[in-house]
Amino acid sequence: MRNTRALAVAGAAVAALGLSAPAAVAWDRPSNIVVLPSVIARGGQLTITADGCRNGGTATSTAFSPTRLSPVGGGGGKGNEGDRGGAGSGTARGTATVNSDARPGPYDITVTCDGGSLTKPQAFTVIGGVRGGIGGSSTTGATPTDVAIGGGLVAAAVVGGGVFWMRRRAERNI
């Protein structure tokens, strides 16, 4: 009878230890990646947040240079982090600037921290950017097409104004 109880207690202890060990190891690896905004123009800035990176890490993508993720301050964090002696809340954050020559389309992000890595496929989408300050135009000055269209509109306005003026003048003579 005593052997059965001792065996049951030992089995429960081993099961509890076995179930908690993977959770403790998983804490030191990235578990979630959040990228804001999810749609961005070339040259824009992304905020990258990774859970499970209590000591910080690095975010990489083909759309931007490797970016350092710093631990987000604050104790307590998730679960029983105080028992593990964590440095912060288990979350790291950083800001990346999308390359000005990045091609439009979806991009993956890989976060590496504490020896582990996690890739989030299609984490954000780059759209074709515009050159601010010049009305979205990527050329300088008016093109020959612009001049032809503008000249045609001015000529139509002059002819229309002349016809209107001549008709009004003819009506006064009646």
What average pLDDT does range 160-164 have in this prediction? 90
Catalogue the E-assigned strands of 32-173: 32-36, 39-41, 45-51, 57-61, 64-71, 91-97, 105-113, 116-127
Q: Which DSSP letter does residue 56 get? A: -
Distance CA 86, CA 32 (A): 18
Q: Is the pTM of this model over 0.85?
A: no
| pLDDT over 80 at 78, yes or no | no
**Residue 86: band (very low, low, confident or very high) from pLDDT cuts 50, 70, 90:** very low
> Could you tell me the two tokens for 65?
């240079």
Q: Residue 44: how many CB atoms within 10 A of its CB?
A: 18
What's the confidence (pLDDT) of residue 131? 56
**Residue 17: band (very low, low, confident or very high) from pLDDT cuts 50, 70, 90:** very low
What are the tens digits of pLDDT across the range 35-62?
999 999 999 999 999 998 888 899 999 9
